[in-house]
Structures are given as C-alpha cells and as structure tokens.
Amino acid sequence: MTTAPARHHERRLSPVFLAILAVTAVTGWAVWTGFAALPGLAVFLFVTSAWVVSLCLHEYAHARAALYGGDITVGAKGYLTLNPLAYTHAVLSVVLPVLFVIMGGIGLPGGAVFIEQGRIRGRWKHSLVSAAGPLANVLFALVCTAPFWLGALDGVPVAFRYALAFLAFLQVTAALLNLLPVPGLDGYGVVEPWLSYGVKRQIEPYAPYGFFLVIVLLFVPAVNAAFFDAIDALMRSLGVPEATRACGSQLFRVWQGAPEACRVG
C-alpha cells in the first residue's frame, strides 16, 4: 500500500505553536541572563511554555508515526502542524497536564491524538504509533540534561540549571507514566497489538478508567515512594543532582517563595 504524503499546508507549523515557542525562547533568555526582577516568575514561565512545547511534540510524534504507518488522515486533522488546539482531546493533552505541573509538579501523560487504527498495517507499526509519544519525551529529557551528563555546566547560570533540571524531571515522569502497560496509556498501546483477541475483549471495559487508576495509585504512599525513587534514580543516571531538581521545582512555585539554599539573586 502506498502512503500519500501530507500536503504542504498540512505540515506548516501553526502560528499558535510558534507563539508558544517564542515565549519559551524569551523566558529562557530571561532566566539565563537574570533579566527578570523575579527569577522564580521567569523560571515558571519558561518551564510552563517549554512543557507545552514538549506536549505538542509528544502528540506530533504519535501523528507522524501514524502517517508512516498508513493513516493519511492525520494531516487533514491538523496534527502535523503542532497546533495544540487541533488535538482531539485538547483538555487532556494540554490543559490537564499543565494544571498537574502547577499543582503537583509531575509530568502527567495527556490524551493521544485520534488515530484511525484500521489504516495502520502491521503490529509493529501499531506499537510504534503508541511508543512515539513517550519517546519524544525521552529525547526532550536527554536534550535538557545534556549539559549535566556531558559535564558542560561551566558558564550555565544557576537559575537556568535549576529550570533545565525540573523540566527534565517533568519529561522523565511523563515518559515513565505513559509507558506503563495500563489501558488508556501509551504503554498499553505498545503491547495491545500482541495480545490475543480474548484478552483484549476482557480488558476493553476497563480501558477508560486506567488513566484515573494510575493517578489514584500515586496517592498511595508506598506506590508514590517507589515511583519517585525510580525517577530520582533515572535523574541521577543522567547526571542531575536531586538538590538541583528540587531547587528547580521550588523556583517554579514562585507563589511559595524559594528557600534560601535555592535563591539565585
């Protein structure tokens, strides 16, 4: 089967995405130079806008993999423009994850773009479509932590280190949560094509509740501790000290005020 390429206007970057990218660049510059009167406010705006950029890239990766797999409708739906307003579940994909970052400080997986599964041929391609989103978060985390694991922190302002560490933390939490093999999350989408028809029929009624079950379980102390221990271990493997990530989280919560150990000006 031949896959028709997306038309040029279907691949043109959305002005909405470009505006978010511009906010990320300007606020990142403000954090780097210390231009802002309130460093915490600059960190908050930089991390929030960069987080929205990563959400757009997450959904774009799903759509791009689906186009490769045979779903030529993703272009007409606007998914290849990185416009967050084009997503089928804009609230789940953007608004809810941003609110969770503000309230809870973790990267919450959002709702995926709508893929016409019948157009995807082959189990490997089905798995790739689901895996592409979390892999985008993994790549984003690697970029954010590159100065740490490359030992290239000389000349990087302290506030910018804090912001990068917290932004990477959000990417790692989002990737790990999304890759759980729980119905409703991308991890289940990776393994679903390999399950028998009978197993899929048994799981199907519970699929709408999987996402909420994960959120509830995170409030169980033992589960919460195990989850964040795993995240901290991954962050350390990327060269990011826990104290640096914690200071990034504290600066992000500008309304609470940063402790003395995390102050940058």
Digit-coded pLDDT (tens) for 3-26: 455 565 677 899 999 999 999 999
Q: What is the pTM of this model?
A: 0.90
pLDDT at 6: 52
- Per the CB < 8 A criterion, the answer to whether 67 and 59 are in contact is no
User: Whose CA is closest to 139, among 26, 25, 68, 238?
Assistant: 238
pLDDT at 110: 63
Digit-coded pLDDT (tens) for 219-237: 899 999 999 999 999 999 9
pLDDT at 233: 94
Provide the annotated active-site residues: 59
* Phi, psi (deg, nearest 5) at residue 110: -95, 180
Task: Give residues with Cβ within 8 angstroms of 145, minimum separation 6.
Answer: 164, 165, 168, 235, 238, 239, 240
User: Whose CA is closest to 225, among 213, 217, 236?
Assistant: 217
For residues 58-81, average pLDDT: 92
- Per the CB < 8 A criterion, the answer to whether 81 and 10 are in contact is yes
User: Whose CA is closest to 258, among 43, 75, 93, 27?
Assistant: 43
The residue ranking higher by pLDDT, 187 or 108, is 187
pLDDT at 112: 66
Confidence band, pLDDT 50/70/90 cuts, at residue 2: very low
For residues 133-157, average pLDDT: 95
pLDDT at 1: 45
Confidence band, pLDDT 50/70/90 cuts, at residue 109: low
Rounded to 5°, the CA angle 249-181-125 comes to 110
